[in-house]
Amino acid sequence: MPNKKIFILLPDGIGLRNFAFTNFHKLGLEKEYDITFWNNTQFDLSKLGIKEIKIEKAKAHPITDLLKGAQTQIELSQNIKRSKDKVYNSYRFPFSYRDAKSTVKSVIIKTLIFCNNSQNGLKRIRENIAKNERKTKLYFDSLTTLQNENPAIVFCTNQRIMLAVAPILAAQDLGIPTATFIFSWDNLPKGTKILETDFYFVWSTHMKNELLYYYPHIKENQILITGTPQFEPHFQEDLLVPQSTFFRDNQLEESKRYICFSGDDITTSPNDPVYLTDLAESVMKLNEKGNNLGIIFRRCPVDFSDRFDSVLKKYANTITSINPKWEKKADSWHSILPTKEDLVLQMNTIFHSELVINLGSSMVFDYVAFAKPCGFINYDVPNLDNPNWSVKKIYNFIHFRSMPSKDAVFWINNPKDFETVMEKMLDKDSNKVIKNAQEWFKKINQHPPQLASERIWNVIDEICKKQC
């Protein structure tokens, strides 16, 4: 009888949304899998009726952080060498010299880069990461857990977290198959993959080709196309609430049609408050022409700043803020966790609004799942705090090159465009753009999107059967 015990390694909160809050877990139980989440987050999965084993006081080897920093920089340099394209420099974070500790760290990483700036050097870096992680308490604790539990596979919910390396190595050293999920559409060009697993689950053929391109040591038969579960809830009609309920609960006016402004984090879009202001002014002008529009502001879930406060106060009659239901467990970025309630909130925000405006967000795919258009902001404004920031840098990122047609979104190239563009987005003129966006969505994510969890369980089943 095959071993049906499945370990879902949750190294941080990113995987909660995809694998704990969707139907992924329920579907696995229906297939009679014995599922345990190997949980390194502060989220109590037992509240959801999910079996878990907590990872306690996990720490990576101190050298791993330095090696990972060097690995990312070398991968970006190798990408430039391979492609003759300097866009990869835009993914680099500057070295820090603010104090003695950060200066020493930067010098060590630069030395590692100098000594290993080649494909062979990357191999040495990966080997040294594994060598050091096998010395950690986390590795030996993981060995003990895996020996006691004997799962058929360890599946990690994302590919870039250092604390996942030791558990994955422990599984491999015990002969247990390992897999990881590439969790976002923009991850692979950035050099963020630190895990070396037996199998890689990807969103699409496009992402499979990216993985083969950026990581030539990975073999094609290691890559399995599944799609991502993150869009599945958009096709669950039982999660929808009536418009009257949604409007009442969020202090919206039932007579209005709402436009969603989806915020980015402060690093990606430091000028979001200005863009929100420009949108609000344009909506007010459209309302003077006889429209009855409002704005729903959904901030980036990890943005707890006060940078929008003055805008929200000034345009209180036009903008209604519906904050994401994420929980801030601590001050670090990785300690801000999604909730199942927010998954429902986001879905209903999309369903009960007409369109979305943002700067280059994957919300384009969330909205096109509902056959609704997206407008991309594409102009700069003066910003003394970030004088070198530009929308040109954002839209030059590799993942935007996957767009099969520039007309997959509406482009807002200056503040005056908001009025005319929104009139088109609210009209049947948007149908062609929506169709192009649907083609983009099909390229980015395996269709039908609502069957991603089913496909993941199917490939897990195949991997497990091979071990019998």
Cβ(3)–Cβ(464) below 8 Å? yes
116 pLDDT exceeds 90? yes
What strands lie across the sheet with 257-262, from one edge to the other?
Answer: 319-321, 293-298, 257-262, 355-358, 374-377, 410-412
* Alpha-carbon gap, residue 440 to 402, rounded angstroms: 7
Once rounded to an integer, what is the mean pLDDT over residues 222-247? 97
pLDDT tens by residue, 195-212: 999 999 999 999 999 999
**Which pLDDT belongs to residue 429?**
79
Q: What percent of the chain has pLDDT over 90?
A: 90
pLDDT top residue among 405 and 319 = 319
Is the backbone of residue 371 left (phi > 0), alpha (psi -120 to 50) or beta?
Answer: left
**Which pLDDT belongs to residue 240?**
97
**Which pLDDT belongs to residue 332?**
59
Q: Indicate the pLDDT class of residue 2, thresholds 50, 70 and 90.
A: confident
**Which pLDDT belongs to residue 1?**
62
Q: Read off φ and ψ for residue 334, nearest 5 degrees.
A: -75, -10
* Alpha-carbon gap, residue 282 to 276, rounded angstroms: 10
Cβ(129)–Cβ(14) below 8 Å? no
Q: 118-122, 336-340, 424-428: lowest mean pLDDT where?
A: 336-340
Q: 177-181, 304-308, 363-367: lowest mean pLDDT where?
A: 304-308
Cβ(434)–Cβ(368) below 8 Å? yes
334 pLDDT exceeds 70? no
Taking residue 8's Cβ as centre, other Cβ atoms within 10 Å add up to 27
**Which pLDDT belongs to residue 82?**
94
State both tokens at 198: 């037996």
Taking residue 310's Cβ as centre, other Cβ atoms within 10 Å add up to 11
Once rounded to an integer, what is the mean pLDDT over residues 298-307? 92
Q: Indicate the pLDDT class of residue 428, thresholds 50, 70 and 90.
A: confident
Q: Read off φ and ψ for residue 54, nearest 5 degrees.
A: -75, 140
Once rounded to an integer, what is the mean pLDDT over residues 461-467? 88
**Chain Cα centroid distance, residue 202:** 13
Cα distances from 299 to residues 12, 15, 358, 375, in angstroms, run 21, 20, 10, 16
Q: 72-76, 268-272, 426-430, 442-446: lowest mean pLDDT where?
A: 426-430
Burial of 173 (0-12, 13-18, 19+ CB in 10 A): middle
Once rounded to an integer, what is the mean pLDDT over residues 247-272? 96
Q: Indicate the pLDDT class of residue 405, thresholds 50, 70 and 90.
A: confident
What pTM value is reported for the model?
A: 0.95
Q: Indicate the pLDDT class of residue 331, thresholds 50, 70 and 90.
A: low
336 pLDDT exceeds 80? no
**Which pLDDT belongs to residue 452?**
98
pLDDT top residue among 128 and 13 = 128
Once rounded to an integer, what is the mean pLDDT over residues 45-54? 95
* Alpha-carbon gap, residue 260 to 274, rounded angstroms: 15
Q: Which residue ranges form the domains of the chain, and what is each CATH number? A: 5-60+136-228+449-466 (3.40.50.2000), 62-132 (no CATH), 236-444 (3.40.50.2000)
Q: Indicate the pLDDT class of residue 467, thresholds 50, 70 and 90.
A: confident
* Alpha-carbon gap, residue 16 to 22, rounded angstroms: 9
Once rounded to an integer, what is the mean pLDDT over residues 248-276? 96
DSSP 45-107: GGGGT--EEEPPS----HHHHHHHHHHHHHHHHHHHHHH--GGGGGGPPPPP-SSHHHHHHHH
**Which pLDDT belongs to residue 330?**
59
Helix axes 62-83, 205-214, angle to 10 degrees: 100
Beta strand pairing status for 52-54 and 34-39?
parallel
329 pLDDT exceeds 90? no
Cβ(153)–Cβ(176) below 8 Å? yes
pLDDT tens by residue, 370-387: 999 999 999 999 887 888
Q: Read off φ and ψ for residue 15, nearest 5 degrees.
A: -80, -10
Average pLDDT, the chain: 95
**Which pLDDT belongs to residue 335?**
65
3 state DSSP class of 345: helix
